[in-house]
Chain A
Amino acid sequence: MLAFIARRMLGTVAVLFAITLLVFAIFFLTPGVDPARQLAGRNPNPETMVLIRHQYGLDRPLPVRYLILMKKLFVTRDLTSYSNQGVKVMPEIVSAAPVTLSLVFGAAVIWVVVSIAMGLAAAVLKGTLFDPLLMIIALIGISMPVFWLGEVMNLITQNRLHGTFLFSWVPPLGYTPLTGDPWMWFKQLVIPWLTLSVLYIGFYARVLRANILETENEDYVRTARSKGISERRVLLRHQLRTSLITFVSLFGLDFGALVGGGALLTEVVFGLPGVGLLTFQSLHNLDLPVIMATVVYGAFFIVFANALVDIAYAWLDPRVRPA
């Protein structure tokens, strides 16, 4: 088991290394934008460009530049942005991460609770009209582009119905730190939470329903029933419990992906200054140090979540463990 974990972790580091190479290659082998131009400010004279190029090591060979970038990112941690000079990348990510975590965590609570309720309800009500109805609602949730849903939510809560009692409490778009004003933090995040969770509610409710129904014919469920255990107990103790294994592993992957930058569109629509928005802005300006740092940050969460889920699986089910 330990060997398996060690190997999986080693693989994770290798993938992260490959990603840094990939990002570097994508941006450095592409002509069109001169980073010295961004660094030197607007319309510098040619001498300044030469000086800047030298100062930032842009006149060095590519492998050296890669190593310098990596050193600044991981060892000295003083990598600075190209387009926002003087802004260190690490503190920028550190200050953006709580925003993304707040967003994803709140949305995750909503989607776990609601999707379990929906999935259970649909499974229990199978055969009635409610089951297909709930599943169609879930499908509609999966079919909505999150940025569009966010726009429509903004239209309703910030403009059309903002004057009414329903949404007059909705504050202007933005983010207030939890430590600054918890009530404001909550109010500003409610709509983004709901928007982000809609897709996952639909997806998880469908998965859960299918998994519960799948256990119907399992021996342990039949045994439990034959022992005369109440239907309710069978459902909650036996069927739901087993079905949650898939659910939990999916949750791990999705949570990792969202914290790693997957919530980008939600952050853009609601103006939340999280890691996704930071990544998007840096891509917009081709601000390589920030792109590199945010992509490594995002990939870390994704790869880490993948590895964690694999290890958990291996722990739960020894058959998966490779010899």
Chain B
Amino acid sequence: MSQIVVEETTPQDGVKEQVAGRSPWALAGRRLLRDRLAIAALVLFLLIVLVSFAAPLYADHVAHTDPFVNNLNGTTVINGKRVPILQQGGGVLKLGETPIGPTWHGNYFLGADNQGRDVMSRVLYGGRSSLLVGVGSALIACLAATIVGLLAGFFGGITDGILSRLMDLIWAFPVFLLAISVGTVLLTAPNGLALGPIHIQAQSLWLPTLIIGGVYVPYVARPIRGAVLSVREKEFIEAATALGASNWRLMFREILPNVISTVIVLLPLMIATTILTESALSYLSIGVQPPNASWGTVIDDGQQLLYTRPIVAIAPGVMIVLTVLALNVLGDGVRDALDPRAKLRIGK
């Protein structure tokens, strides 16, 4: 569901480079620092990361609950009164059990889900999983795509043909369908995924990370291959070839540094996309598996309480929106800073 559009565009107004003698990276860094919106987005993203990774501290010291253990018979204190976390339905029939709503203080700040667990702690822990899977799969996708793009673009011919067809194949498989298929199958396999000596349990975060990383490889590989193709024709490559440089040297010493900026521009946007994908898969119960929680699984839990306790579904969604928004703004900033002439965009 993601597309990368490469558009040629004019440099940002007012950012006229007249600095000479500095490395392009330093220049890019200076440009990025001047982009206040991007810096704000970076700060927001880092804040979310920090808060998410402080989840155990919050659960232990503020909420005083373990958000991974059901607490169906527990109680909490509201206005000095001890109340049960799950409250039995009213009327003559007394059907159903409704979890407690937000207490707005440490214990059950955002209320409980239908297993009596502290929603705030779960949202924070969920952020940890979502970020790990999102960043991890984006890194995997970018790494694999760089290798594929380099090989295909550099060698061309049969190598390019095979790799490109393979990418076409994955491309033609609707992203979600591919991820859901692989996810369902791997979850059902009795012993998870076995890759030679590496053995991944169904509950491991590695499973969604690898699946999501895998399906996005073609989306990154295409623009990289394009960049490699254009760099390959440049004079300094001809010069290096004339000097007798080996293929590997050409690829990694000469071409890679010139296409790496494409990868760096794509990375934040890629993380935004993978976080959205992870949440969707977890929402369909084939992403992150219990005991881990992610923002998507918390929304899934909250779906059952949508009308009575909407906060359970809304809170993790707001976190996703903030994170993805920050990454998109940051991505724009990085693109403008690193590559003011070519606009690479990613969406969906």
Contacts and interface: CB of A to CB of B under 8 A. Distances in A.
B280 A265 contact: yes
B328 A299 contact: no
A23 B181 CA distance: 8
Contacts of A132: 37
Given A210-B7, A210-B9, 20 more contacts: A19-B172, A26-B185, A30-B188, A30-B189, A132-B37, A140-B325, A147-B299, A149-B317, A154-B306, A155-B314, A213-B10, A217-B10, A250-B5, A253-B3, A261-B174, A264-B177, A283-B177, A284-B184, A295-B174, A299-B173
A148 B188 contact: no
Nearest to A30: B185
Q: Which of B172, B184, B189, B347 has the most CB of A within 10 A?
A: B172
A70 to B, nearest CB: 17
At the interface, is chain B mostly helix, strand, loop or mixed?
A: helix
B181 A148 contact: no
A148 B168 contact: no
B283 A32 contact: no
Interface residues of A, number: 66
Interface stretch (A98-106, A184-192, A199-207, A232-240): A199-207
B190 A32 contact: yes
A59 B250 CA distance: 53
Interface of A: 11, 14-16, 18-19, 22-23, 26-27, 30-33, 132, 139-140, 142-149, 151-152, 154-155, 159-160, 199, 202-203, 206-207, 210-211, 213-214, 216-217, 246, 250, 253-254, 257, 260-262, 264-265, 268, 279-280, 283-284, 286, 291, 294-295, 298-299, 302-303, 306
Given A19-B173, A152-B317, A261-B177, A143 B272 contact: yes
Contacts of A199: 347-348
B320 interface: yes
Please report whether the interface of chain A is mostly helix, strand, loop or mixed according to DSSP: helix
Contact of B176 (A26, A139, A145, A265): A265
Given A22-B169, A148-B313, A214 B174 contact: no
Interface in B9-68: 9-10, 37
B88 to A, nearest CB: 22
B5 A283 contact: no
B325 A143 contact: yes
Nearest to A156: B310
B240 interface: no
B306 A155 contact: yes
Interface in B289-317: 296, 299, 302-303, 306-307, 310, 313-314, 317
B1 interface: yes
Interface string B144-187: 00000000000000000000010011011111110011101100
B8 interface: yes
